[in-house]
Amino acid sequence: MRSVQMEHISYTYPTGTKALHDISLEIEEGSTVALLGANGAGKSTLMDLLLGWKHSQGIKLFDKPLSSYGRKELGRCMALVPQSENYNFSFTLLDYTLFGRAPYLSEMGSPTENDVDIAYEALKEVGLASYAKRSITSLSGGEHQLLLLSRAIAQQSKVLLLDEPTSALDPANRQKVMKILEHLHEQKKTLIFTTHDANLAYELATHVAMLKQGNLLCFGTKEEVVTTEMLTTLYETKMTVCSIGEKTLIY
């Protein structure tokens, strides 16, 4: 089943700047897709369109037009993991993870015991359950990223949109996040993430969409599209893809 379908998507900012031009792609349920490109290629704009934050005709989610989804219904289908978040109040990790339960609550409702149990499970999944009552202001950068993931996991949606999920992490935390994402992939979640790191895209994704100056350069399985030629065209600099044993290294 297709979880996301885009047909001839274009987007121009109110200032007149063209961000995306004629993008078409289909994402199968359970696949992990990297939106790969240089800064300003249109990755974040495409993510905003998928989220419904910016509007464009021609996007379907589970074969239903995105525009026909209600807000809460959309929140139950798709979760966002932003790059960072406002942390100006000392919410506990549990408070913050519970925010992911909002699409399941009534208009003015608040979390139930069942929601609390789900939030604890999400915290357990990212390895933060023992810190559930700690303040989010006391977390390290890596723990913040894990917390963002736990909120999205508590949302129990089929599709997760991740904006540069490992860009500000040290190698240890990067590995932690990647393991969690691999685990989510095993649970048949559809993961769509933006990155400019070709190694990460190759390591994590099943499919890669390369974006260059608002155009879709190519889309396919990573083995098909992540090649020396395509990457060199994408970044306009000499790139090399080489295999060492079972590993693939891009530099």
Partner 1 sequence: MNSSIYKQEQKRNRIILLLLCFILLVLSFLFLFAGRYPKGGFTFVKNLSENSMMKNIIVNVRLPRILLAIMAGAILSAAGFTFQMLFSNPLVEPGFLGVSQGAAFGAALVIVAGSGSSIMIQLSASFFGLLALGSSYFLAKKFRFGGWLLRLVLSGIAISAIFSSGLGVIKLVAEPTKDLQDITFWMMGGLWNSNWNQIFSIIPIVVFCLLVIYSYRWKLNLLSLQEKTAYSVGLNPKRDRTILLLVATIGTTLTISITGLIGWVGLIMPHLSRKLFGSDSKAALPGSMVMGALFLLLCDTIGRTVLATEIPIGLLTSFIGATIFIIILSLRHQEGKA
* Secondary structure percentages of the chain, helix, strand, coil, to 5: 40, 30, 30
Residue 190 C-beta-side C-alpha neighbours within 13 Å: 18
Identified binder of partner 1 from the candidate list 88, 238, 244, 246, rule CB under 8 A: 88
User: How many residues can be counted in the chain?
Assistant: 251
CA torsion through residues 175, 241, 207, 11, sign: positive
Nearer to partner 1, 64 or 71 (CB): 71
Footprint of partner 1 on residues 91-130 (CB under 8 A)?
91-92, 94-95, 99-100, 102-103, 105, 108-111, 113, 116-117, 120, 129-130
**Could you tell me the two tokens for 226?**
């992540």
Nearer to partner 1, 51 or 210 (CB): 51
Helix or strand holding residue 21 (H, E): strand 18-28
d(CA 98, CA 208): 32
d(CA 80, CA 183): 17
The torsion angle over the Cα atoms of residues 123, 181, 149 and 209, rounded to 10 degrees, is: -170
d(CA 63, CA 77): 12
Identified binder of partner 1 from the candidate list 49, 51, 122, 153, rule CB under 8 A: 51
Q: Note whether 82 binds partner 1 by CB under 8 A.
A: yes
Binding window for partner 1 (CB under 8 A); candidates: 25-33, 88-96, 186-194, 242-250:
88-96
Please provide the distance, in angstroms rounded to a whole number, between the alpha carbons at the two ends of the chain: 35
Nearer to partner 1, 62 or 99 (CB): 99
Q: Note whether 29 binds partner 1 by CB under 8 A.
A: no
Nearer to partner 1, 87 or 235 (CB): 87
Q: Note whether 146 binds partner 1 by CB under 8 A.
A: no
Footprint of partner 1 on residues 180-239 (CB under 8 A)?
none
Binding window for partner 1 (CB under 8 A); candidates: 5-13, 70-78, 202-210, 218-226:
70-78
**Could you tell me the two tokens for 218?**
């190519």
| Residues at the contact surface with partner 1, assessed by CB under 8 A | 48, 51-53, 71-76, 78-80, 82, 85-92, 94-95, 99-100, 102-103, 105, 108-111, 113, 116-117, 120, 129-130, 132-133, 135, 137-138, 155
